[in-house]
Structure 1
Amino acid sequence: MAKTSIVSLVILFLSLASSDDSVHSLLRDHGLPAGLLPKTVHSFSLEPSTGLLAVQLHGPCIAQYERSPVRFDQEINANLTFGSLKGVKGLTQEELFLWLPIKEILVTDPKSGVILFDIGMAHKQLSVSIFENPPDCKEDGGPELRTAAGFQEQR
């Protein structure tokens, strides 16, 4: 009986302890680069029957990918399938001084080295290598912090 309780506690602890590496490994296992999510992941859950991925960060933040800042809400949701995140909620990307929602992320051909972002009115193709490693993410405290962090204030 005691042996069963210890095993149950260990299994429970391991299932509750979500680390940054776990969600980043999950992305890699699904044909996506780990750097699509920042290092500041607090926890995540995946509903196996629907593929619904819910990721919680410590707070909203902004990460810089080459010349494009991306804003992460405190909670990010998407349907995860192999090579794609569809119905993304909680991600916006700055394009021409406007913050546009990222709706879908696709890696259709891993050999091509290209990742596709659907930002509503346009599709943007970037090199997958930009997203290989999870980026640092600066706290998003509004326009003042964005300007102080080197990002232009939205007007």
Structure 2
Amino acid sequence: MADREGAVVKKGHEEGLKMAVSLLEEFGLPLGLLPLADVIEVGFVRATGYMWINQRKKVEHQFKLVSKQVSYDVEVTGYVQAKRIKKLKGVKAKELMLWPPVNEIIVDDPPTGKIHFKSLAGVTKTFPVEAFAAGQ
């Protein structure tokens, strides 16, 4: 795929997870944002910010501090920039009985302690950043 030209690719859970977390850290995003289970591959194209994550099965994670159930598909893709992920695919956050896709994640800069999740429908949900810290 043209998207993936010039990518750094890590295979396997340990290496892939390490790379995903180091990208979150580098771009100022909360480290618990991607609670991945069984990673097959993670890739990142520095020139464009395009990132992909492949995992063996869909993961559902409960962020306890905000009582938010989030589902991560077998493939998650998006464009990572400072304090944001754009054109995100493969991530859904449960709203009542629905699972609307999350299209963009933005951390306030300068920091206010808030993180915003936008859906394609134009709905934005705001939460405290610490709810998505590592280990949450």
> Which has the larger displacement, 91-100 or 40-49?
40-49
Structure 1 residues 53 and 134: alpha-carbon distance in aligned structure 2, compared to 1, 3 A threshold? farther
What is the aligned partner in structure 1 of residue 80 from structure 2?
80
For the residue of structure 2 that corresponds to 1:35, the secondary structure is: coil
Percent of pairs with identical residues: 29
Q: 1 or 2, which has the higher helix percentage? A: 1
The AA in structure 1 aligned to 2:131 is I
- Residue 30 of structure 1 corresponds to 27
Deviation per CA, 1:101-131, whole angstroms, max 9, x where unpaired? Answer: 0000001225311000002331111011011
Aligned counterparts of 1:124 and 1:85: Cα–Cα separation in 2: 15
Q: Which residue of 1 is the match for residue 130 of structure 2?
A: 129
Aligned counterparts of 2:77 and 2:131: Cα–Cα separation in 1? 22
Offset, 1:41:
5.2
Normalized per residue, which structure has more strand? Answer: 2
TM-score for both structures, normalised by structure 2: 0.81
Contact 1:36–1:134 (CA<8 Å) still a contact in 2? Answer: no
The structural deviation recorded for 1:39 is 3.6
1:57 Cα deviation from its structure 2 partner: 1.6
Is residue 41 of structure 2 the alignment partner of residue 40 of structure 1? no
RMSD (Å) for aligned C-alpha atoms: 1.9
Q: Distance in 2 between matches of 1:110 and 1:72?
A: 28
1:91 is aligned to: 91
Paired residue secondary structure (1:126): strand
Listed as ranges, the gaps of 5+ residues in structure 1 are 1-13, 136-155
- Structure 2: which 5+ residue stretches go unaligned? 1-8
Cα distance change of structure 1 residues 22 and 41 upon mapping to structure 2, 3 Å threshold: farther
Tell me which residue corresponds to 1:152: none
Q: Counterparts of 2:49 and 2:56 in 1: how far apart (Å)?
A: 23
- TM-score, normalisation: structure 1: 0.72
Matched residues in 1 for 2:108 and 2:11: separation?
32
- Give the number of equivalent residue pairs: 122
1:57 is matched with which residue?
Answer: 55
Does the 8 A contact of 1:53 with 1:80 survive in 2?
Answer: yes
| Cα deviation digits, residues 18-71 of structure 1 (max 9, x gap) | 242221121111010111101425121001111100011221110001211111
Kindly report structure 1 stretches of 4+ aligned residues shifted beyond 3 Å.
14-17
Q: Go from structure 1 to structure 2 and tell me whether the alpha carbon gap of 1:26 and 1:78 turns closer, same or farther (over 3 Å shift).
A: same
